[in-house]
Structure 1
Amino acid sequence: DAIVYQSGSLALQGTGDSSIRSSFSNPSLGPVKNAFWLCPDGQPDSLYGKYNHPVTQVTWNDAQAYCKWKSELTGQNIRLPSEREWEYVASDFGKLSPENFFWDEDRIVEFCNIEETGILDTLPVDHFPENEYAGGTMDLFGNVFEWVQDAHDKKISNRSPHTLEYKIARGGSFITHFKHIAAWRRIPFLKSYCTSFLGFRTVCDDV
């Protein structure tokens, strides 16, 4: 359910400017599924039985609370990925430019759960084995949007992300049209917002 990838560098999200880069090393990235979401001190799971589906109906604040709980439980630093980290993995670890996509448009439904797939609901995270990147990252596109740490307004990114009301989700979902599936696309939501097509995955720094 997680991957470890090597040190790398990446352009700021969506700019395509390779002269602006930031480096990091050795985080672990994995989806949060309903099976992970269940815990003794949590509320009952409204999607009982979908243990291998991504968790949904969670706000950005809920995702932060989960990361805090999981960090305390494991003794590791669990958090949401930054936009830069998410995009680095989504661009095949920096191999593709932000405007490029991975598959021919006629075949995209074979690789991710989007509007054209016709399911209009979540699928298990391993439903599309071909939708697998280096290290085993799956479902970065489609199925559910994924909360990331960043605030919507880049101009005030030096402020604490916890103080800003609009947060970013990436990746698209089962109701996203294929033309809107791209590594660079960022969608703002209120951090108190939750819905059936919005979930999250986590990063573990201690690997």
Structure 2
Amino acid sequence: MPAGTFTMGDSSGDKNRADGETPRHEVAISAFEIDATTVTNDAFARFVEETGYVTEAESFGFSAVFHLALAAPEADVMGPASGTPWWAGVKGADWRHPGGRDSDLDGRGDHPVVHVSWNDAVAYCEWAGRRLPTEAEWEYAARGGIDGAKYPWGDQEVDEGGWRANIFQGEFPRHNTCEDGFLTTAPVRSFAPNGYGLWQMVGNVWEWCEDWFHPSTYRRGTTAEKRTLVTDPAGPESGQSRVMRGGSYLCHLSYCNRYRNSARSQNTPDSSMGNGGFRTVALRVESQA
């Protein structure tokens, strides 16, 4: 990614009030290198094979699975999540078994790894000599050089002129018509890349970022009070949850319209789910003559 400035925050009026997408503010970003895709099952498998790493979902013995993706004995289903009955805790669900113990990764080597917590993602980054992107880096990269647009490709809707991202179609959460071709994850190089050559920055899977989450992040300090240009912001110094960006295959206008460049979400660092993954950035970019 070349160094540059951009306007960070809600650019379409679709903000979710509790997510803190406003106020819009100018941010300067130093040059950095980011993965063209989210980390795949094959890549994560190499990490596990070399290190013997055990994910938190494996350690805890369960993870969150969307009800239409269940592939597990009835006895493994721990019941619906409070407030979101389309999610269930499923014993034996992990990155190798995304739908539960009756599922596997056959034919999914090029799909994004899921059921990885923020802590798992950081462990992978340490092995790879990389790190998670900051929230500001992620949004700058997602915009693909089109400042102020709703999506990585511009302002056209996801289904305008052919599907542009992997989201939920139909009546959420009961019936997914799969018009975009996928019930759950899609291969990481599906659809078209953005102007920076990055694939599926929105839809498919949520992506962990480095930052702690707070809904008033954009209103704090010089960003809101003095309206000065902020360079390489890193978010709050502490918190209870970490930022997630990009939305997922479960996003739908009626439920979660967070498949947008500026949309924010969060989860605790030890949480994992069947629609959450990550991509990495280089620790630094060497200056070039």
Same fold (TM over 0.5): yes
- Tell me the amino acid that sits aligned with residue 152 of structure 1: F
The match for 2:45 is 38
**Residues 4-43 of structure 1: CA deviation (Å, up to 9, x unaligned):** x21111234444645x322311323332111110132235
Determine which structure has more spread, i.e. the larger CA radius of gyration. Answer: 2
Which residue of 1 is the match for residue 271 of structure 2? 193
Deviation at residue 125 of structure 1 after TM alignment = 0.9
Pick from 154, 160, 185: which aligns with 1:122? 185
TM-aligned CA deviation for residue 108 of structure 1:
7.5
Give CA-to-partner distance per residue, 1:102-131, whole Å, 9 cap, x none.
423542761111001623211101121xx2
| Matching residue within 26, 31, 39 for 1:25 | 31
Identity of aligned residues (%): 27
Give the count of matched residue pairs: 190
CA contact (8 A) 1:122 1:144 kept: yes
Instruction: Tell me how far apart the structure 2 counterparts of residues 102 and 28 of structure 1 sit (CA, whole Å).
Output: 24
1:26-67, Cα deviation, whole Å (9 max, x unpaired): 323332111110132235833433110001000001001110
User: Structure 1 residue 84 and structure 2 residue 84: aligned?
Assistant: no
- What TM-score, normalized to structure 1? 0.80
Aligned 8 A contact 2:34 2:279 in 1: no
Q: 8 Å contact 1:108–1:178 — kept in the other structure? A: no
The amino acid that maps onto 1:10 is F
Q: Could you say if the C-alpha distance between residues 105 and 6 of structure 1 is closer, same or farther in structure 2, counting changes exceeding 3 Å?
A: closer
| Aligned equivalents of 1:28, 1:105: Cα separation in 2 | 24
Partner AA of 2:114 in structure 1:
T
Cα root mean square deviation, aligned: 2.5
Q: Take 1:9 and 1:175, find their aligned partners in 2: how far apart are those partners?
A: 31
Contact residue 144 and residue 174 of structure 1 kept, 8 A: yes
Matches within 5 A, 1:20-169: 20-30=26-36, 31-39=38-46, 40=49, 41=51, 42-43=53-54, 45-46=96-97, 47-49=104-106, 50-71=108-129, 78-93=130-145, 95-97=146-148, 99=150, 101-107=154-160, 110-116=163-169, 118=178, 119-128=182-191, 131-153=192-214, 154=217, 155=220, 157-159=235-237, 163-169=238-244
2:41·2:113 contact (CA, 8 Å) conserved in 1? yes
The answer as to whether partners of 1:115 and 1:175 remain within 8 angstroms in 2 is yes
Structure 1 regions of 5+ residues with no counterpart? 72-77
**Segments ≥4 residues shifted beyond 4 Å:** 98-101
Change (3 A) 1:141 1:158: closer
* Pair 164,108 (structure 1): closer, same or farther in 2 beyond 3 Å: farther
Residues 87-115 of structure 1 show CA distances to partners (whole Å, capped at 9, x for unaligned) of: 1122222x231656542354276111100
1:150 partner amino acid: D
SS of residue paired to 2:279: strand
C-alpha spacing 1:21/1:97, structure 2 compared with 1 (3 Å): same
**TM-score, scaled relative to structure 2:** 0.59
